[in-house]
Structure 1
Amino acid sequence: MKIQKIFDLTDKVVIITGSSGMLGTQYAYGLSECGANVILADIDISKSKITEKQIKKKFSTDPMSIKLDLTNKESILSMTSTILKKYSKIDVLINNAAYQGNSKIRSSGFENLELETWNQAIDVNLTGVFLCCQSIGKQMIKQKSGNIINIASTYGLVGPDQRIYGKSGQNSAIFYAATKSAIINLTRYLATYWEGNGIRVNTFSPGGVENNQDPNFIKKYSKKTPLGRMAKKDEYVGSMIFLASDASSYMTGSNLIVDGGWTAW
């Protein structure tokens, strides 16, 4: 076995939803460096096009930007059709997009959360993932091969420690924890449902990423983490390459947790 070869993604067609976000952009660069043709799917296509342009300058790959509204089934079906017209296949789907709400919503508390906000989170974080898996899964069945990576969170595994947030605005809302928890079991269901079809389905659960948050929050979060700090924005790229490549070829129905030890206490 040649180690470099099992991480090679040359000519693999990889969809990244939420590709304009901080982590989505990091995944796009990392997967492109391994040879993947990344599909930058986001409701903000202007940011995706900037990333697409930069990838074309740096790597010999063929990326494409697509405007995607995860709350609209027709938008998801259109994305699938557009990709197949150009590439004739879909190798990997990374369900990365998520709605977390702004700091005001996150700080409002469970008792004051608007039903409209709850429904919006369900539509994007759960129903959107369901629809993407459904649409693209049909193509993967035809191919007899495919790889789906659903992004969850440590807060899909444990409850947030409300004591560390204070007035930082970084509070994890109930809808985020509920939808990310659901993603983990949706993954297990699909992994077993599609047995025999050559489709792997796994979850990736990252911890918190340092990104100009309130210094007091960063200090408290880091103190609760065995590695003593939050993640850097590029530290999850290796995990994503592992899950997207043949390096994880015997892995399905699993949840890869990378959180600096946050959930190990």
Structure 2
Amino acid sequence: MKDLLKNKTILIAGAGGLLGSRLVVGILSQGGNVIAADINVEETKKLLSELDANIAQSCLQVVPLDITNKNSIKEIFLKNPNIDGAVNATYPRNKSYGAHFFDVTPESFNENISLHLGSSFLFTQQCAAYFKTNKKEFSLVNISSIYGVVAPDFSIYENTSMTMSVEYAAIKSGLLHLNKYVVNYINDSKFRINAVSPGGLFDSQPKPFLEAYKKKTHGNGMLDSQDILGAILFLLSNQSRYVTGQNIIVDDGFSL
């Protein structure tokens, strides 16, 4: 469906990332206006230009955002009184993130929970505050994961140095319930929060992992970030007007 988001203004937090940058392009292609927010503005502009997004067009603005800073988030909302929805595609973490289970210290675990789940809470809170002030329809999409829904399959990491971090599982599962808490707390049909939980996204992972992962799916294997866009665009649009507190899993059967 063309022009799914015509005349809607969508805030993308983490617009310089693998998924966020493709979302910017996808929303623009559906007639939407985009506020592309990221901690590194220049790198974000460069990436969007590489994806053939004209950063000089009036329907796209690229702005700085520190997702862990309340004032940074509030400033965007204060400067933009006509935001219709938002997607949090950020992925803040410390340098120890991704360590194997027995190598994770309590300090590192707590810091990563604070950085990622804490900032997701902060962003969600400010979206809700923005809605309470403006009282216009608002749709927020938070990005969870299949590992927020099911336990990790550690067999797919054999013969690699990779693992599925314990922080990630705690963060992504917590995010799903945070969505339900907030949307029930606000209790207004005009304010919706949903999640999309992707399977693995291809990002040049080692071949043994890619092969093992593919065997757990129905044949596609790792997803491209483009494969996630349809679900997110649907949740931002009026086609999902009364869909709220839900989680759409996009994983080619991995979690079945």
What's the TM-score once normalised by structure 1's chain length? 0.87
> For the residues of structure 1 that align with 2:40 and 2:162, how far apart are their CA atoms?
23
2:175 corresponding residue in structure 1: 183
Quote the residue 1:234 is aligned against: 226
Tell me how far apart the structure 1 counterparts of residues 220 and 62 of structure 2 sit (CA, whole Å). 37
Q: Within 1, Cα distance between the matches of 2:211 and 2:185?
A: 43
Once structures 1 and 2 are overlaid, which stretch shifts more, 121-130 or 109-118?
A: 109-118
Q: Could you list the runs of 5+ residues in structure 2 that have no partner in the other structure?
A: none
- Offset at residue 160 of structure 1 (A): 1.1
Alignment-derived partner of residue 70 in structure 1: 67
Counterpart Cα distance in 2 of 1:42 and 1:163: 35
User: Which segments of 5 or more consecutive residues in structure 1 lack a partner in the other structure?
Assistant: none
For residues 164 and 101 of structure 1, the distance between their equivalents in structure 2, rounded to whole angstroms, comes to: 24
1:10 to 6, 10, 13: 6
Flag the 1:71–1:245 CA change in 2: closer, same or farther, 3 A.
same
1:44 to 1:169, Cα distance in 2 relative to 1, 3 A? farther
- The structure-2 alpha-carbon separation of the partners of 1:256 and 1:132, relative to structure 1 and needing over 3 Å to count, comes to same
What letter matches 1:149 in structure 2? Answer: V
In 2, the alpha carbon distance for the partners of 1:120 and 1:256 equals 28
Instruction: Give CA deviations for 1:86-136 in whole Å, capped at 9, x if unaligned.
Output: xx211111111123666x742x32222133432332233211111112122
Partner residue in 1 for 2:118: 127
Q: Show the counterpart of 1:37.
A: 33
Using the alignment, how far apart are the partners of 2:160 and 2:17 within structure 1? 21
- Pair 1:212 & 2:204 matched: yes
Contact persistence 1:168–1:214 (CA under 8 A)? yes
Q: Which residue of 1 aligns with 2:87?
A: 94
Deviation string 1:180-224 (CA, Å, 9 cap, x unpaired) is 001101111122222225101111101001221100000000111
205-214 or 194-203: which moved more? 194-203
Partners of 2:58 and 2:213 in 1: CA distance: 38
Separation in structure 2 between the aligned mates of residue 165 and residue 100 of structure 1, nearest angstrom: 21
Amino acid aligned to 2:106: L
- Tell me: CA distance 1:68–1:119, structure 2 relative to 1, closer, same or farther (3 Å): farther
Cα distance, 1:61–1:235 mapped onto 2, change above 3 Å:
farther
1:55 partner SS: coil
Query: Number of paired residues?
Result: 253
Deviation at 1:167, TM superposition (A): 5.0
Distance 1:155 1:99, change over 3 A: farther
Question: Greater shift after overlay, 161-170 or 134-143?
Answer: 161-170
How far apart, in 2, do the equivalents of 1:52 and 1:243 lie?
23
CA RMSD of aligned residues (A): 2.1
Is 1:168–2:176 an aligned residue pair?
Answer: no
- Secondary structure of 2:150 counterpart: coil
Structure 2 CA distance for aligned equivalents of residues 72 and 168 of structure 1: 36
Percent of residue pairs bearing the same amino acid type: 31
Equivalent position of 1:79 in the other structure: 76
Corresponding position of 1:261: 253
1:51 and 1:9 map into 2 onto residues whose CA distance is: 23
Cα 1:71–1:100 shift into 2, 3 Å? closer
2:179 and 2:244 map into 1 onto residues whose CA distance is 9
